[in-house]
Amino acid sequence: MADMSKGTLDSGKTQLFVLLTVLGGVLEFALYQHT
């Protein structure tokens, strides 16, 4: 059970990291397009 919850936590962290990376890329792209 503890192992399962730990896996879920890691998965959530990975999803958040991916989301932040994608958002950062979109922001950079938008800034480059704007100038």
Q: Where are the alpha helices (DSSP H) in 1-35?
A: 2-34
pLDDT computed for residue 9 by the predictor: 77
Residue 20's domain comprises 1-35
Number of domains in the chain: 1
Given a cut of 70, is residue 11 above it in pLDDT? yes
Quickly state the pLDDT bin for 34 (edges 50, 70, 90). Answer: confident
Q: What is the pLDDT of residue 20?
A: 97
Name the residue among 23, 12, 20 with its Cα closest to residue 31.
23
